[in-house]
A and B are shown apart, each in its own frame.
Chain A
């Protein structure tokens, strides 16, 4: 999915903004839900959608999954543009 379309969802946008601001962060669905103040099950679904789109990386183990920000400079720069546009709008 195109990044701009992906970020049309409020939860996905909040998750991406969180990881864009904290690029060294690795967190569980519960942690991310706490930071952005959203429901954990909705966050979990959105995290997987962002992994499928290549915006996040999933680190899976038998007991939990951790999510971190993409390393792809093209995606990061595109997200940066979208976030900057929305903050100046």
Chain B
């Protein structure tokens, strides 16, 4: 692609293709058998020098090889004249050389273009014109065939690398638009950029508009000696300049491409190609295309994050309102949210499912607002009628949140988080896999939360006592597979410490 070697011209390529053409060889054999003995020759140029004619003919003409210099000169001059005449008329032109041999020159032509000449020197008697007509017609067909082959091959050579590049761009687009998590997206863009550019380091910086600086957000450095991540002022270094001027900045060992939406939102900078070659205009073009796609993905992820923040804000406000009725009942502790989310991630649930679980973890008991205070605060066993009222709280919770579209995916978790794995729960008595996985996770986390926090109807258990209780109910109340996941998650040092800090104020 970047090779400076001079490409052969179309005419030259066509001539070379004809020289090697099996069809032309067969034709020469066939026509040759009718006018034998015959010496075939080919000349590339339209108006060749005599030395070129001499070289082309001498190898096949025994007379020319033997001729003295004066005779040879006269002979070549005659053939030169015939070649020029053939080129002018673009038709087969006969001649008789000074040695008394007959011959013809046929211009290899298509339209106005002449690509060279085919010549033949044969016995003393002239060939029948019909034979030469057949030769002309066949040669024209062979030239057209060679032209088509050459054009097809050129088309293939031109289109294939572009099609492969386009396919790469399409694949990159699919890979980067499949995530809405900026923490996952930016390193992915950096790794893909490195791969496409065959470079060693990529850094993505995003704008901090207030401070007029670029903050490093993702860096992939494959060199042994790694560079320190640093902020860059706008206008400084290649990344800063690319952002300031809103166009790529290219040096031999770096290429900074701005990420432009309506305004510049950041910059991708690639450093050090593996093969040590300098970055080229083609690299710049490819990186600009990749940057355009990255901008769309980054904006989508930022919008998603913003929407996520608004939804979470709404949920927390709702939880705060509900909490005025029963303090600390709805403000979910960060550690419980963390346990629920980590369990969902361990179960490889997708981003939407994880988010749904997070929302449900905050609002799973929202329906309790419809249960009278005296029932919620009753320290003794509930009557059957009271218990029936309690059992309606999951459905009531769904009623409360049903108008919030963003929470729609959380409704099955809220509705079924009191279902038991063995089918003895409520509201529907679902069992095992009939219960949505989010609700099965919520059942464990909610029960754990209930055991270790103060409730009017039961004494508070310690963390370890609660874990024992959960284990005891594995397979009956809880999904045993999820109980194993829960135990692993709670045993994690960071989560255990977070839990202890929230519950007892120490770690």
Instruction: Give chain A's interface residues, CB within 8 Å of chain B.
Output: 22-28, 31, 34-35, 57, 59, 61-64, 66, 68, 71, 73
A62, closest chain B residue (CB): B178
24 CB < 8 A contacts A-B:
A22-B164, A23-B198, A25-B164, A25-B168, A26-B171, A26-B192, A26-B195, A27-B171, A31-B170, A31-B171, A34-B167, A35-B164, A57-B195, A59-B188, A59-B191, A61-B174, A61-B175, A63-B174, A63-B178, A64-B174, A66-B171, A66-B172, A66-B174, A71-B274
Contacting residues, chain B, for A22 (C-beta < 8 A): 161, 164
Within 8 Å by CB of A62, from B167, B179, B198, lies: B179
A64 and B178 within 8 A (CB): yes
When distances are taken between beta carbons in the complex, the residues of chain B under 8 Å from A68 are 195
Q: Which residues of A contact B196 (CB under 8 A)?
A: 24, 26
A64 to chain B, nearest CB (A): 5
Contacts of A73 in B (CB 8 A): 274
- Once the chains are docked, how many angstroms separate the CA of A59 from the CA of B179? 13
Q: How far is the CA of A35 from the CA of B165 in the complex (A)?
A: 12
Residue from A27, A63, A64, A71 in contact with B168 in the complex, judged by beta carbons closer than 8 Å: A27
Shortest CB–CB separation between residue A88 and chain B, in angstroms? 20
Name the 6 nearest CB pairs between A and B, nearest first: A61-B178, A63-B178, A66-B171, A68-B195, A31-B167, A61-B175
Residues on A with beta carbons closer than 8 Å to the beta carbon of B174: 28, 61, 63-64, 66
State whether B198 touches A71 (Cβ < 8 A).
Answer: yes
Residues of chain A lying within 8 A (CB to CB) of residue B380? none
Q: Does B4 contact A (CB under 8 A)?
A: no
Which residues of A are found within 8 Å of B168, using beta-carbon distances?
24-27
Chain B contacts with A in 352-374, Cβ cutoff 8 A: none
Tell me whether B270 is interfacial, beta carbon within 8 Å.
no
Q: Which residue from chain A places its CB closest to the CB of B179 in the assembled complex?
A: A61
Nearest CB of chain A from residue B24's CB, rounded to whole Å: 27
CB distance from B277 to the nearest CB of A (A): 12
B197 within 8 A of A: yes
Let me know if B350 is at the binding interface, CB within 8 A: yes
A35 to B171, CA, bound (A): 14
Contacting residues, chain B, for A62 (C-beta < 8 A): 178-179, 350
B406 at the interface (CB under 8 A from A): no
Closest Cβ of chain A to B187, distance in Å, is 11
Confirm or deny: B222 has a beta carbon within 8 angstroms of a beta carbon on chain A: yes
**Chain B contacts of A61 at CB under 8 A?**
174-175, 178-179, 188
Tell me which residues from 186 to 215 in chain B have a Cβ below 8 Å from any Cβ of chain A: 188, 191-192, 195-198
Which A residues are CB-close (under 8 A) to B179? 61-62
**Which residues in A have their C-beta under 8 angstroms from that of B167?**
25, 27, 31, 34-35
Which residues of A have CB within 8 Å of B286? Answer: 24
* In the complex, chain B residues whose CB is within 8 Å of the CB of A28: 171, 174
Contact B178 A26 (CB under 8 A): no
Specify which chain B residues have a CB less than 8 angstroms from the CB of A27 in the assembled complex.
164, 167-168, 171
Q: Nearest-CB distance from B190 to chain A (Å)?
A: 12
Complex: how many Å from CA A70 to CA B274? Answer: 12
Distance between Cα atoms of A51 and B172 in the complex (Å): 18
Name the distance in Å between A71's Cβ and chain B's nearest Cβ: 6
- What's the minimum C-beta distance from B299 to chain A, rounded to whole angstroms? 18
- Min CB distance, B473 to chain A, in Å? 34
List B residues 141-200 near A (Cβ within 8 Å).
161, 164-165, 167-168, 170-172, 174-175, 178-179, 188, 191-192, 195-198
- Chain B residues with CB under 8 Å of A59's CB are 175, 188, 191-192, 195
> Closest residue to A59 on the B side, CB-wise?
B175
Measured in the bound complex, the distance between the Cα atoms of B180 and A62 in whole Å is 11
Closest to A67 in B: B171
Q: Closest Cβ of chain A: how far from B175's Cβ, in Å? A: 5
A25 to B286, CA, bound (A): 12
A66-B175 contact given A24-B197, A27-B168, A71-B198, CB 8 Å threshold: yes
Taking CB atoms, residues of chain A closer than 8 Å to B192 are 26, 59, 66
**Chain B residue with Cβ nearest A31:** B167
B178 (CB) vs chain A CBs: closest residue: A61
**Complex-state Cα separation, A26 to B167, whole angstroms:** 8
CA distance A66 to B460 in the complex (A): 52
**Shortest distance from the beta carbon of B257 to any chain A beta carbon, whole Å:** 16
Chain A residues with Cβ below 8 Å from B350 are: 62
CB distance from B195 to the nearest CB of A (A): 5
| Measured CA separation A53–B413 after assembly (Å) | 43
| Distance of A54 from chain B, by nearest CB (Å) | 15
A28–B170 Cα distance when bound, in Å, is 9
Told that A24-B165, A24-B286, A28-B171 touch, could you supply 18 new A-B pairs with CB distance under 8 A? A23-B198, A24-B195, A24-B198, A25-B164, A25-B168, A26-B192, A26-B196, A28-B174, A34-B167, A59-B175, A59-B191, A62-B179, A62-B350, A64-B171, A64-B174, A64-B178, A71-B198, A73-B274
